[in-house]
Chain A
Amino acid sequence: GQNIDQPTEMTATEGAIVQINCTYQTSGFNGLFWYQQHAGEAPTFLSYNVLDGLEEKGRFSSFLSRSKGYSYLLLKELQMKDSASYLCAGLILTGGGNKLTFGTGTQLKVEL
């Protein structure tokens, strides 16, 4: 089966750095995505990793270790608007094509 785990909640301070971890146990793994979802809105695509290593995109970076089944999303210079749910999703290759399996999401609260 597919299993993707994230912490349920995290709290961090404005201006700080926060790391949101994601571990996965999946078959047919073909990459890992991070999405941001503000309350009442649709998820928006943040990052994608398929090879081991760090992908940096502005204040957001994402890391993947395929051998360890582990990823993290790093948010720097936190802003109040970063308060949202962050979803880790594994891209799974199946006979019918690629599909995303989402983790439970991490609710991040940024405080002053």
Chain B
Amino acid sequence: SAVISQKPSRDICQRGTSLTIQCQVDSQVTMMFWYRQQPGQSLTLIATANQGSEATYESGFVIDKFPISRPNLTFSTLTVSNMSPEDSSIYLCSVEGQGLTGEQYFGPGTRLTVT
């Protein structure tokens, strides 16, 4: 499985500011995914990021609020813009495995608290 790192691991931010989360993979992958996990909840897919194309956002998530970059096959960023306390959550990136089953492997997550 791929080794995935995220920066920062945690942050405390003021409302109205923006935070960019980085996701780095140790191998080239076609698809990268960004999830949100609110306290005590399961994972919700924010968007799918393919290199060389615009990210595909799930219902309820928009590019203005969560802009995503995917400059190459090993890196992606997710920005949480104009933050409010409701954005306090863990943000995780994931990648598909090399097999054909479609399993995903997750980064360690970024714990964001908005005050």
Contact = CB atoms under 8 A, between A and B. Distances in A.
Interface of A: 30-31, 33, 41-45, 48, 50, 87, 89, 91, 96-105
A101 to B, nearest CB: 7
Main secondary structure on A side of the interface with B: strand
Interface of B: 1, 31, 33, 41-45, 48, 56, 92, 96-97, 101-109
Contacts of B42: 87, 102-105
Given A31-B101, A48-B102, A100-B45, 18 more contacts: A30-B102, A42-B106, A42-B107, A42-B109, A43-B43, A43-B92, A45-B97, A45-B103, A45-B105, A89-B43, A91-B102, A96-B56, A98-B102, A99-B48, A100-B102, A100-B104, A104-B41, A105-B41
Give the 5 A-B CB pairs with smallest separation, nearest first.
A42-B106, A98-B102, A102-B43, A105-B42, A102-B42
